[in-house]
């Protein structure tokens, strides 16, 4: 079987097929809670910066990015995660990318040598890019089931030494997609220690790091864990950050990778040949966004407001709590999450995502079965309307 033949349909392709042929009530406006596409207003200063630099579309961008952008990213890392001043060298430890999706995929291609029978370890459920990246790099995915039993966090100690010995890359995601679970610093530090012991790389997807419930317990970064483990150059560690969730600009396709300078040197070489470079106007707009924390705080407050409005409605019919991070709900809805999703769309013209589409059968179970992912990305009024429809749907199905 070829590597391409092993790729599974993307979750939203499956969802489209699941809904095919259904005629929902047209008296109800469709509300999509299935995709994690932020819909909050784009901060005006980002748009103004972008539009003021449109003439720079006449310039070829460099793959390494402009110094002012790399410096803005490095300063943000130091501010956001309380890193020591000067610990992130913008010349060697930061690389702009066209969104974390592209970078998370390309990173595996650059790091894994063909024919080495490598394993890529990842949480399950997961962002499907991790799996596709592993397969197309010629590696095998190894899934760490995250469920209520593990507090929706990967149990690193459950992995046999024989698996770690073949591991070349470990993907982590904190806050997690879809559960919103946050990995505590000691667990991140344990991942760093395992990477050093067994000689693999840790790639931390931290694109939800600015969306958290408690200001007193903001999620830590893998970079914090690397420093706490004694490294001064983030050895074997890279983190991925994006403006899509932080600044509500998913269409800007802007993010960055930071960490081990030796790994970034290799990744830059790969990307130079790959032809990935952020347009100059996007670089200016991105630097402005990373330099401003006020809009990120306001954005976070909007999601908290949605949780406060939605949870009292849904808690009457579902066991659901505000997650530690992210903008998803991940409730149990019964054993057949596909049936729940299909009938919810049929009766209430509302779309969620079956949990099984985000997970794989592994170690005797699929930890996504029986759950759905609910994305609280529409405006507040639509989220409240959606919560009332879900509650009505469940109450009517029980009567």
Higher pLDDT, 251 or 1: 251
Neighbours of 126 (CB within 10 A): 24
Residues 201 and 275 both lie in one domain: yes
Our count of domains for the chain comes to 2
At 8 the pLDDT is 87
Q: Which helix (H) or strand (E) holds 30?
A: none
Q: Which domain holds residue 265?
A: 58-292
At 4 the pLDDT is 83
CATH of the domain at 65: 3.40.640.10
- Mind listing the pLDDT tens digit for each residue in 71-120? 999 999 999 999 999 999 999 999 999 999 999 999 999 999 877 789 99
Note whether residue 51 is domain-resident: no
Among 292, 321, 340, the domain-final residue is 292
Note whether residue 81 is domain-resident: yes
3-state helix/strand/coil string of 233-269: CCCCEEEEEEHHHHHCCHHHCCEEEEECHHHHHHHHH
Cβ neighbourhood burial of 319 (10 Å; 0-12, 13-18, 19+): exposed
CATH of the domain at 389: 3.90.1150.10
Alpha-carbon distance of 353 to 378, in angstroms, equals 15
Helix/strand/coil percent split, the chain, to 5? 45, 15, 40
Residues 166 and 268 both lie in one domain: yes
- Mind listing the pLDDT tens digit for each residue in 331-370? 999 889 999 999 999 999 999 999 999 999 999 999 999 9
Residues 305 and 219 both lie in one domain: no
- Cβ atoms of residues 201 and 191 within 8 Å: no
Instruction: Confirm whether pTM is higher than 0.85.
Output: yes
Residues 238 and 320 both lie in one domain: no
Residues 210 and 345 both lie in one domain: no
């Amino acid at each position: 079987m070829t590597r391409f033949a092993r790729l599974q349909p993307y979750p939203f392709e499956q969802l489209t097929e699941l809904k095919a042929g259904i005629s929902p009530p047209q008296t109800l406006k469709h509300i999509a809670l299935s995709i994690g596409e932020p819909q909050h207003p784009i901060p005006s200063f980002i748009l103004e910066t972008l539009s003021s630099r449109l003439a720079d579309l006449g310039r070829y961008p460099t793959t390494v990015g402009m110094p002012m952008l790399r410096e803005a990213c490095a300063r943000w890392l130091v501010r956001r995660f309380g890193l020591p001043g000067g610990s992130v060298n913008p010349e060697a430890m930061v690389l702009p990318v066209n969104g974390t999706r592209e970078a998370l995929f390309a990173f595996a291609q650059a790091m894994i040598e063909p024919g080495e029978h490598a394993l890529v370890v990842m949480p399950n459920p997961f962002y499907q890019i991790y799996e596709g990246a592993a397969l197309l790099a010629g590696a095998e995915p190894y899934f760490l089931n995250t469920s209520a039993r593990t507090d929706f966090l990967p149990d690193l100690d459950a992995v046999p030494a024989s698996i770690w010995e073949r591991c070349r890359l470990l993907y982590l995601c904190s806050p997690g997609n879809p559960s919103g679970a946050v990995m505590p610093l000691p667990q991140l530090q344990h991942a760093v220690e395992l990477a050093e012991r067994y000689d693999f790389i840790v790639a931390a997807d931290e694109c939800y790091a600015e969306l958290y419930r408690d200001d007193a317990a903001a999620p830590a970064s893998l970079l914090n864990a690397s420093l706490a483990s004694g490294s001064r150059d983030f050895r074997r560690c890279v983190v991925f950050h994006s403006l899509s969730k932080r600044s509500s600009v998913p269409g800007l396709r802007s993010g960055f990778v930071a960490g081990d300078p030796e790994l970034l040197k290799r990744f830059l070489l790969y990307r130079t040949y790959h032809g990935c470079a952020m347009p100059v106007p996007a670089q200016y707009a991105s630097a402005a966004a990373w330099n401003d924390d006020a809009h990120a705080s306001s954005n976070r407050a909007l999601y908290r407001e949605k949780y406060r409005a939605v949870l009292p409605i849904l808690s009457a019919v579902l066991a659901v709590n505000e997650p530690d991070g992210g903008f998803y709900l991940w409730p149990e809805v019964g054993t057949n999450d596909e049936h729940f999703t299909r009938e919810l769309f049929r009766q209430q013209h509302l779309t969620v995502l079956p949990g099984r589409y985000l997970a794989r059968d592994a170690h005797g179970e699929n930890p996504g079965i029986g759950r759905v992912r609910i994305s609280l990305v529409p405006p507040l009024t639509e989220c409240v309307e959606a919560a009332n429809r879900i509650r009505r749907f469940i109450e009517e199905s029980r009567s």
